[in-house]
Amino acid sequence: MPFDTELTRRLGIKIPVVQGGMQYVGYAELAAAVSNAGGLGILTALTQPTPDDLRKEIQRTRNMTKNPFGVNITLLPSLQPPDYGAYAQVVIDEGIKIVETAGNSPGPVISKLRKAGIIVLHKCTTIRHAQSAIKLGVDFLSIDGFECAGHVGESDITNFILLSKARQTLKVPFIASGGFADGQGLAAALCLGAEGINMGTRFMCTVEAPIHQKIKEEIVKAQETDTALVMRRWTNTTRLYRNKVTDAVVKIERESKTGEFAEIAPFVSGKRGRQVFTNGDPDYGVWTAGQVIGLIHDIPTCDVLVKRIEKEAEETLTSKLKLAKAKL
């Protein structure tokens, strides 16, 4: 039974599973593999050093898939912000139809994309931010629970509450993000009112994810307790894989008398974290992962994973329905 949700219809995909933007992971190989499997693959704009590199990456992805794929544009606080407008312009010029936005003050970028007729999925961790994004005219919300990898926000609301609250209050369709790895999760998300799911960490641990095999093996070994929250002191709370570097950051964060960000800056700089993905040493720097890491036990291709999720979700929903009928 193919899934037919607002997400599959509007995006023109077969299976309501989105691969969220991932810095230094969301390259053409992964995005194309997810889209070829029937989900929505997403390139991460800022993984490309310049807007022109993004253009080349979009063209590279087009050579690998005929199916729809999207681009993530993440707006983070920075002393020298990237030229978001130029990245958005490349997306428009290249005829991309779907963009995932995330981060702070997305208004100007969202309005530029909307004017060009692009479907915008905005990812956020609170209902308040979702409502602001609705005012900006987004087409879908991606509701990111506290379980998620990366920027968890400051409210600490997990998906059981957040998704039901979204269903009760939002007038715009939404997908569920954070903590999903299997079809049972997809079935649960649909029951809670979502039109599909978004996954990050699970897709890092696939054959096509362009990261070192040792990091994928580390993910398979990890438990749900193996993540750490850092940077709460600077209201930029981020969930990372727990390792020697995050332990050092947490210690400084807890004990620093000055509270100067500069004290932890060298530890959390993306530079060493990025190298983790190429040198395979999980303790070399900080890298992002969600609590769902404890539910990941293999390294499948995206095709096997996405189709397995579809099958498990279908079996879960039909078997529960049979159970309910049997009890009547």
Comparing CA positions, the residue from 100, 33, 99 lying closest to residue 61 is: 33
23 binds ligand FMN (CB under 6 A): yes
290 binds ligand FMN (CB under 6 A): yes
Q: For residues 21 and 282, which CB has a smaller minimum distance to ligand FMN in the complex?
A: 21
Residues 196 and 80: their CA atoms lie apart, in Å, by 35
106 binds ligand FMN (CB under 6 A): no
125 binds ligand FMN (CB under 6 A): no
Residues 134 and 68: their CA atoms lie apart, in Å, by 24
Q: Which stretch in 14-22, 27-35, 106-114, 230-238 sits in contact with ligand FMN by CB under 6 A? A: 14-22
113 binds ligand FMN (CB under 6 A): no
Q: For residues 205 and 264, which CB has a smaller minimum distance to ligand FMN in the complex?
A: 205
Total residues interacting with ligand FMN, rule: CB under 6 A: 29
What track of x and - describes contact with ligand FMN for positions 174 through 193 (by CB under 6 A)? ---xxxx-------------
Give the β-pairing of 150-151 and 119-124: unpaired
CB of 274 to ligand FMN, least distance (A): 10
Q: Which stretch in 54-62, 126-134, 264-272, 282-290 sits in contact with ligand FMN by CB under 6 A? A: 282-290
Q: For residues 49 and 63, which CB has a smaller minimum distance to ligand FMN in the complex?
A: 49
CA contacts within 13 A on the Cβ side of 285? 18
CB of 321 to ligand FMN, least distance (A): 27
20 binds ligand FMN (CB under 6 A): yes
Residues 4 and 16: their CA atoms lie apart, in Å, by 8
Which residue from 8, 35, 74, 237 is in contact with ligand FMN, where contact means CB under 6 A? Answer: 74
Residues 23 and 98: their CA atoms lie apart, in Å, by 18
What track of x and - describes contact with ligand FMN for positions 190 through 219 (by CB under 6 A)? --------xxxxx-x---------------
Contact 147, 292 (CB under 8 A): yes
Residues in CB range of 113: below 8 A, 6 or more apart: 88, 91, 92, 99, 101, 120
153 binds ligand FMN (CB under 6 A): no
138 binds ligand FMN (CB under 6 A): no
Q: For residues 220 and 321, which CB has a smaller minimum distance to ligand FMN in the complex?
A: 220
Which residue type sits at 69? F
37 binds ligand FMN (CB under 6 A): no
Contact 167, 127 (CB under 8 A): no
CB of 193 to ligand FMN, least distance (A): 18
- Residues binding ligand FMN (CB under 6 A): 20-23, 25, 44, 72, 74, 102, 123, 144, 147-150, 177-180, 198-202, 204, 288-290, 292
